[in-house]
Amino acid sequence: MRIEKAKYERMSQSGSAILRLFQNHEMPVLDLFVREVVQNSLDAGIEGEGFVQIQFINRKFRSSELSVELEGISEKLDMRYGDMNADALIVRDSNTVGLTGPIRDSDVVDMKVGNFRKLVYEISKPQDQEGAGGSWGLGKTIYYRLGVGLVLYYTRIKSNNRYESRLAACLVENENDPERLIISDSPLNNRGIAWWGNDDGSGKTEPITDEKEISRILDIFDLEPYGSGETGTTIIIPYVEEDKLLSRTVDNFEATQYAQSFWWDETIGDYIAIALQKWYCPRLDNKKYRFGRWLKAMVNDREINYAEFEPLFMLTQELYNKSDYVRPGPSHSAILESSLWNKRDIRLNSVFENDPVAGQIMFAKISSAKLRMLPPDNCRTPFEYLGKDFNGDSNVPIISFTRKPGMVVGYETSGDWVDGIQKTDPNEYIVGVFVPNSNNKLRTDSYNFPNLEEYLRATEKADHAAWSDVVQGGKRITIVDRIRKNMKGEISKEYNIVENKTNGGMNYGLSKSIARMILPPQGIGTAPTRSFGSSERETNLVKNNFKHSIRKLYSPIFSEEGIKIPFSVTTGAQEKNLIFHICVDTESGGVHADSWEKEIGTEFPIGILEFGINKIKSGRKEYLPNGEATLTKESDKRLIAGANYEILSTKKFNVPYGISIMNTTDSYMLVEGYFLIQENGPKYTARFILEALKE
């Protein structure tokens, strides 16, 4: 394919500037990619019933077979990749109209450049159809941030009752990067942007339309052309690096010694499967969706069905389907079937022509058991699925909102959407979904928008991650603000009664004591002043810092056996030995178990009956022991997944009071499990202590 290097022109963008245009540095890059590419496909859906199908493919290709096709950068690619197999990330949709519109400058009429030119050759050209997802035209810049900046676009359309195919490539890179691919013979050719295709005779390129030539290029990626009567678009992003993309899915990855990661951080396919559920659960495998075709998605050869959704996203779709603005009739019901849920109209006065309802909030208070967080499922907390860092003793609400395109704009756990709504117990969650009355007409004497949908669309920034009221005629409109306030009032009214709960006959003093156990998000305090009383364990105590941490997973569980305290412990790669133990809180500080028995002369009052392990993660490897790996006073030592675990008991009365964890690997470790403890004699306030030891 011939190369066309972008020349400097007045008001032109450079490659480095384009890569900075999409100003969202909080959301992981793969989330941004999924949100953008899926919305583009849905906006291009063929009118009528049925679904838009999108398939994400991650596969290898031979670099030398691609480089030979790309004039001007072949040598650089061969120097960098040689004949190696490289990775490509591919998105292929069908039941869409494809990238329509003119392909040559001379064919553009009345500035209607069409979707092909908007995506491949233009920047800041938004969708102009009502109810479309995009309104800025900047989202596509995310494609150039996934690999080396190279993207191939292949599409098949139907125009004037005939089918035609198009294929072109574009590269956007930092023109100041010493490792850049584009070599320019003049500073005026150094914008960091290039296109590939056929020579149009004027020094510019146009897409390839020859079916045989297109098929040859698709063969490089083991892709078939679209079949007879089929239209759609395929986007190919070569030279992606899985480790780099996955490392950028964890918030503040570079800022912390240990970054929390989960099973969906293991592969690009796993992450995309979760991202599809997270952002498109209102439309994904939802035949009740009413504003166009529903979404059918595949990751490689696996279809993402509702039955496989993670519980939070099942719940979000079920709440969405309860709205009056979704098609009536039976729908999926895996969580709300036996749970209480609520629906409230959100009314705004003096905003709309006739109907005062701005939309509806559907919400429910759901237990951790209903969200399958308990054994044997052990699903993650809603906050973890959303990438939210929340380890409080009570749970903040989770409110999401969406408009016609069916993409969740955001999940709010703080700020204007949730402030003032009561928090819940650690084993309960308030989850709500706001669905606007999109077609409701705004008053023409007050607003320059035809309906609520178009107003909300205008309030979204380029990343479509929030709604924020706009200023019109020098005056700020307050529609979104009033929706939020009224919605919070409705939820608060429902849950403003303090529920009287008993502890099922357990001693309340003990319950209160356990509830005050300190399980902080980070290691607490500095090196303790009390020794372990062991001349054979001569060590230097390291000050606790962010390399290791302990947190509570959910509320203590009371039974006749004792109190079960679920926890999660992490350790840095360089920390080889952790001590995790219980002390008793007093006015003068925490009293160590051995010190208690030596100075007071009685048994330490809080004993560990059992220590259990549910999951261990070391680096990128995860271990799920068959059943729960347990240690007791009788079986007090075990080697599990690269770490030695040992029950620590007091010297005088042999009361189990803690655990020693010796990490024999070179990776950080995450251990999730529980303590089963029993309090003997008078009631005391207990504290958990996590300490790193240096040999």
- On whether the CB atoms of residues 364 and 342 are closer than 8 A, the answer is yes
Dist CA 434 CA 361 (whole Å): 4
Res. 270: pLDDT tops 70: yes
| Tokens 């007093």, located at residue | 586
Res. 293: pLDDT tops 80: yes
Q: What percent of the chain has pLDDT over 70?
A: 81
pLDDT confidence band for 586 (50 / 70 / 90): low
Res. 342: pLDDT tops 90: yes
Tell me how far apart the 2 most distant CA atoms of the chain are, in Å: 97
Res. 128: pLDDT tops 60: no
- On whether the CB atoms of residues 670 and 617 are closer than 8 A, the answer is yes
CA 8 to chain centre: 38
Res. 559: pLDDT tops 70: no
Going by their DSSP bridges, the two strands 357-367 and 302-303 should be labelled as unpaired
In degrees and rounded to multiples of 5, residue 694 shows phi and psi of -110, 125
Q: What percent of the chain has pLDDT over 90?
A: 47
Selecting from 3.30.70, 3.40.50, 2.40.160, 3.30.565, what CATH number does the domain 2-280 have? 3.30.565
pLDDT digits (tens, 9 = 90+) for 590-636: 788 998 888 888 888 888 988 888 888 877 777 776 656 888 888 88
Closest CA to 166 of 249, 221, 216, 233: 233
Res. 22: pLDDT tops 70: no
| Top-confidence residue, 221 or 652 | 221
Structure tokens at 444: 């023409």
Closest CA to 651 of 598, 609, 610: 598
What is the length of the chain?
Answer: 695
pLDDT value for 503: 33
Going by their DSSP bridges, the two strands 428-436 and 398-402 should be labelled as parallel
Res. 481: pLDDT tops 80: yes
SS (H, E, C) 347-414: ECCCCECCCCEEEEEEEEEEECCCCCCCCCCCCCCHHHHCCCCCCCCCECCEEEEECCCCCEEEEECC
Across the chain, mean pLDDT equals: 82
Dist CA 260 CA 668 (whole Å): 10
Instruction: Tell me what the mean pLDDT of segment 472-478 comes to.
Output: 84
Where do the structural domains in the chain lie, given as residue ranges? 2-280, 310-494, 508-694
Res. 21: pLDDT tops 80: no
Res. 495: pLDDT tops 70: yes
| Top-confidence residue, 616 or 399 | 399
| Tokens 């989202």, located at residue | 139
pTM over 0.75: no
Dist CA 432 CA 365 (whole Å): 9
pLDDT value for 259: 47
| Top-confidence residue, 466 or 571 | 466
Assign residue 372 a region (left: φ > 0; alpha: ψ between -120 and 50; beta: otherwise): left
- On whether the CB atoms of residues 408 and 426 are closer than 8 A, the answer is no
pLDDT value for 534: 28
User: 366 pairs with which residues across the strands?
Assistant: 429
493: CB partners within 8 A, 6+ apart: none
Q: Which helix (H) or strand (E) holds 220?
A: helix 211-220
pLDDT value for 525: 30
| Top-confidence residue, 468 or 558 | 468
Residue 248 buriedness (CB in 10 A; 0-12 / 13-18 / 19+): middle
Closest CA to 315 of 286, 336, 331: 336
Highest averaged pLDDT of the listed ranges 388-392, 511-515, 586-590: 388-392
Instruction: Tell me what the mean pLDDT of segment 189-205 comes to.
Output: 87
Res. 280: pLDDT tops 70: yes
Instruction: Tell me what the mean pLDDT of segment 282-311 comes to.
Output: 95
| Tokens 């490509």, located at residue | 88
Closest CA to 514 of 503, 499, 501: 503
Instruction: Tell me what the mean pLDDT of segment 22-31 comes to.
Output: 74
CA 53 to chain centre: 22
Res. 176: pLDDT tops 50: yes
pLDDT confidence band for 391 (50 / 70 / 90): low
